Amino acid sequence: MATKIPEAPRVGMVSLGCPKNLVDSERILTKLRSDGYAMSPDYAGADVVLVNTCGFLDSAKEESLEAIGEAIAENGRVIVTGCMGKEAEVIRARFPNVLAVTGAHQYEEVVGAVHDAAPMPPSPFVNLVPDAGLKLTPRHYSYLKISEGCNHRCAFCIIPALRGDLVSRRPDAILREAEKLVEAGTKELLVISQDTSAYGVDIRKEPRMWKGQEVIPHMTDLARELGKIAPWVRLHYVYPYPHVDQVIPLMAEGLILPYLDIPFQHASPSVLRAMKRPANEAKVLERLKKWREIAPDLTIRSTFVVGFPGETEADFQYLLDWLDEAQLDRVGAFRFEPVEGAAANDLPGAVPEEVKEERYARIMEKTAAISAAKLQAKIGRMLEVIIDEVGEEGGATGRSQADAPEIDGEVFLRDAGHLSQGDIVQVEIEDADEHDLYGVPLA
């Protein structure tokens, strides 16, 4: 039986007032899109309607109240945000049924209100952000979506059918959003899209002005500019195309984090062919070696699918041997599961469930051993760590540059009660296990 993907809730937006309000609306919608929400162009199709109000003049207030009234009459499920949020009592007195009222620039609250009013059904097959990350991210890190859709047609994936071909955001809009996020306290930007390495292929000839200079819509140019804006910039969902070589020097320079999330999914050429994977070429191991020569601290995270239709024991063994060579730092694995509408469902050679389980256990054992050895080698080193949480008894939890939130490991700190969430500190690593590090901050 194929897994059915639940439909994303739809959000309608009415944006009133000045260009600043419009930028806020864009930020709210961008965040909601990156959380997986769909947009509705009309009241009827929306699960919830956001009214971003203006309260600058009495006439603007009246216009805002009228817009809220219209949204309530047409849809009924309304969240109010923007400048009139200051006058929540006025709004509630006139419209007791509004679901939530949040003020101007209370970007996290309004996105949170949407999550409460129309929760996203979790689905590992379509969400770029891990399920745990669907809660609102804390202020010190933010996901930054740079494009929507995908030009590939991987056999197990329904994203192109759901979201269409790749559509890149303008680089200046991305950089403006990044700057606003950093102004609001973000220290770490997590760049996401279905294929970050393909960013800009659709708008390559449309450079945009940013701070007096042209920025070309290309992953390298964008990464360089983002690196100037945020202390930490982390790239997710990158395919090992030759042009990715150009971002590695940015990592060596410390402009962006020496971290690449590359969803390899498999290594055996025949399985990759059947999967119709992009950048499926034999030279990947050589490429990884060269990258590590340039940026020795480069962390590579990846995901793999075991039990894809037609995967033989020899294919699987090829994958295990490849992993021995590739020495990836972080690996997630999935047992193949048909998803309704995916081309792979019709492929011959279904792998029995017990074989999938057995292969899954073997790949997890192999990758845990590689991860443990890599972490052991970090004992005694001084690493930069971002603080996620400060505990009550002098401890704190953070992440090194090698750890993306929710999906990688953590660094557990002692004697760290003086630190605050979002601090980036030097930590001496004292111990390690299979996934996590333990250490003490230097200051």
Binding residues vs ligand SF4 (CB under 6 A): 150, 152-154, 157, 159-160, 194-195, 278
- What angle (nearest 5°) sits at the alpha carbon of residue 315, between those of residues 311 and 321? 145
| Residue 305 CB, nearest approach to ligand SF4 (Å) | 10
Dihedral sign, CA of 110, 112, 118, 120? positive
Are 375 and 409 a contacting pair, CB within 8 Å?
A: yes
H-run or E-run covering 17? none
Q: How far apart are CA 307 and CA 351, in angstroms?
A: 5
Q: How far apart are CA 121 and CA 127, in angstroms?
A: 10
Nearer of residues 165 and 325 to ligand SF4, judged by Cβ: 165
| Residue 275 CB, nearest approach to ligand SF4 (Å) | 8
H-run or E-run covering 112? helix 107-117
Residues in contact with 115: Cβ distance below 8 Å, sequence separation at least 6, in sequence order: 35, 134, 135, 136
H-run or E-run covering 254? none
Nearer of residues 151 and 270 to ligand SF4, judged by Cβ: 151
Nearer of residues 149 and 395 to ligand SF4, judged by Cβ: 149
Q: CA of 430: how far to CAs of 104, 281, 378, 441, in Å? A: 45, 39, 9, 11
| Residue 265 CB, nearest approach to ligand SF4 (Å) | 8
Nearer of residues 254 and 341 to ligand SF4, judged by Cβ: 341
The amino acid that residue 150 corresponds to is C
Nearer of residues 278 and 439 to ligand SF4, judged by Cβ: 278
Nearer of residues 195 and 315 to ligand SF4, judged by Cβ: 195
| Residue 306 CB, nearest approach to ligand SF4 (Å) | 16
Are 257 and 300 a contacting pair, CB within 8 Å?
A: no
Nearer of residues 39 and 343 to ligand SF4, judged by Cβ: 343
Dihedral sign, CA of 353, 357, 362, 368? positive
| Longest distance between any two alpha carbons in the chain, whole Å | 73
Nearer of residues 80 and 126 to ligand SF4, judged by Cβ: 126
Are 439 and 397 a contacting pair, CB within 8 Å?
A: no
| Residue 159 CB, nearest approach to ligand SF4 (Å) | 4
| Residue 244 CB, nearest approach to ligand SF4 (Å) | 14
| Residue 242 CB, nearest approach to ligand SF4 (Å) | 17
Nearer of residues 148 and 297 to ligand SF4, judged by Cβ: 148
- What angle (nearest 5°) sits at the alpha carbon of residue 160, between those of residues 188 and 311? 95
Beta bridge partners of 390: 396
| DSSP secondary structure letters along 183-243 | HTT--EEEEE-S-GGGTTTTTTT--EEETTEEE-SSHHHHHHHHHHH-SEEEE-S----GG
| Residue 128 CB, nearest approach to ligand SF4 (Å) | 9
Nearer of residues 194 and 299 to ligand SF4, judged by Cβ: 194
| Residue 119 CB, nearest approach to ligand SF4 (Å) | 23
Residues in contact with 16: Cβ distance below 8 Å, sequence separation at least 6, in sequence order: 51, 52, 53, 54, 60, 63, 64, 67, 82
| Residue 151 CB, nearest approach to ligand SF4 (Å) | 7
